[in-house]
């Protein structure tokens, strides 16, 4: 490969913008480390209303406007903003929508209630990530998805986007972390998550509609899996191990950069998972 290896990192939180769990620090430090090792990096995350646009110097990317994301019967406009991390010279893209993300809190309201539409927000974000990269025309060699809110991306990539030139050679790593909520998504989650070439049968691993099911679904369609926590649910760990796919175990912060760099080389050499 003559050009630099391209890695797309996707997470629902990232320092210094939003810090909800250990994912936020990983989503910052890992892309920085890979960029220092000579890889070309892009990072995508939601633009929650709690992110201060002036402080972090977000601005809308007008050339990426005009994307709509369909969820059920609704057509939802996608607004894409970008900021640069000065210490890393790294671009971070933020996916925004007035109905889904322009509220003061990320995943829970001021009374710690899990937002009723978090399932729709996840679907919007996952479809939006892939549509944004298509619009950018930037072909990632690896898509590294971290956490439950990115769990539909491997499925959508394998079932719908796999024939597009931008993604035809992309490998996807799904990062499994600790169970971060106890709520169950509404009964309409699976129906709303369908799309062309993605039917209810394809969504079978997600049928429990809880966070463990999201991890199982993400892992089922990924080319490889990383354990990003020492506190991964035992049932999820057992499910992942039975998939017989490359696994990167959780490690100390000091080991992360070199371990992930080696893992990415291994994943690049894989034959893609066929579904």
Q: Where are the domains of the chain?
A: 6-268
> How confident is the model at residue 2, as a pLDDT?
65
Q: Where are the beta strands (DSSP E) in the chain?
A: 6-11, 40-46, 59-60, 67-71, 74-85, 90-96, 142-146, 171-176, 224-227, 247-248
> How confident is the model at residue 275, as a pLDDT?
64
Residue 54 corresponds to which tokens in the numbers above?
A: 């002036």
> How confident is the model at residue 77, as a pLDDT?
96
> How confident is the model at residue 274, as a pLDDT?
61
Going by the DSSP 8-state scheme, the letter that residue 39 receives in this structure is -
Q: Classify residue 127 as exposed, middle or buried by CB count within 10 Å of its CB (0-12, 13-18, 19+).
A: buried
Listed in sequence order, the residues at least 6 apart from 159 whose beta carbon sits closer than 8 Å to its beta carbon are 197, 198, 202, 221, 275
**Helix/strand/coil for 149:** helix
Question: What CATH class has 6-268?
Answer: alpha beta
Q: Would you say how long the chain is, in residues?
A: 275
Residue that is written with structure tokens 């309201």 in the block: 109
> How confident is the model at residue 83, as a pLDDT?
95
- pLDDT tens-digit profile, the chain (275 residues): 468 999 999 999 999 999 999 899 999 999 999 999 999 999 999 999 999 899 999 999 988 888 999 998 889 999 999 999 877 788 999 999 999 999 999 999 999 999 999 999 999 999 999 999 999 999 999 999 999 999 999 999 999 998 899 999 999 999 999 999 999 999 999 999 999 999 999 999 999 999 999 999 999 999 999 998 888 999 999 999 999 999 999 988 889 999 999 999 999 998 766 66
> How confident is the model at residue 88, as a pLDDT?
77
Going by the DSSP 8-state scheme, the letter that residue 61 receives in this structure is -
> How confident is the model at residue 176, as a pLDDT?
96
Residue 47 corresponds to which tokens in the numbers above?
A: 């633009």
Residue that is written with structure tokens 């892939």 in the block: 130
List 150's β-bridge partners, or say none.
Answer: none
CB 158 within 8 A of CB 221: yes
The phi, psi pair for 272, rounded to 5°, reads: -65, 150
Residue 114 corresponds to which tokens in the numbers above?
A: 């899990």
């Amino acid at each position: 490969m003559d050009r630099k290896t391209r890695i797309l990192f996707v997470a629902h939180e990232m320092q210094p913008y939003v810090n909800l769990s250990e994912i936020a620090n990983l989503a910052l430090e890992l892309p920085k480390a890979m960029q220092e090792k000579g890889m070309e990096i892009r990072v995508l995350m939601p633009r929650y209303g709690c992110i201060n646009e002036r402080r972090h110097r977000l601005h809308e990317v007008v050339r990426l406007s005009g994307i709509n994301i369909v969820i059920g019967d609704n057509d939802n406009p996608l607004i894409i903003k970008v900021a640069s991390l000065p210490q890393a010279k790294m671009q971070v893209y933020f996916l925004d929508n007035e109905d889904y993300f322009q509220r003061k809190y990320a995943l829970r309201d001021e009374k710690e209630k899990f937002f009723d539409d978090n399932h729709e927000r996840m679907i919007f974000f996952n479809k939006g990530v892939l549509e944004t990269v298509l619009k950018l025309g930037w072909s990632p060699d690896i898509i590294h998805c971290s956490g439950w809110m990115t769990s539909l991306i491997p499925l959508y990539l394998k079932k719908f986007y796999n024939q597009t030139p931008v993604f035809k050679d992309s490998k996807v790593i799904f990062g499994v972390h600790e169970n971060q909520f106890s709520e169950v998504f509404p009964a309409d989650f699976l129906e709303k998550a369908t799309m062309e070439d993605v039917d209810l049968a394809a969504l079978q691993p997600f049928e429990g509609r809880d966070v463990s099911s999201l991890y199982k679904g993400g892992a089922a369609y990924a080319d490889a899996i990383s354990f990003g926590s020492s506190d991964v649910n035992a049932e999820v760990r057992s499910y992942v191990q039975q998939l017989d796919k490359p696994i990167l175990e959780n490690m100390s912060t000091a080991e992360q950069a070199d371990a992930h760099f080696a893992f990415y080389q291994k994943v690049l050499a894989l034959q893609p998972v066929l579904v």
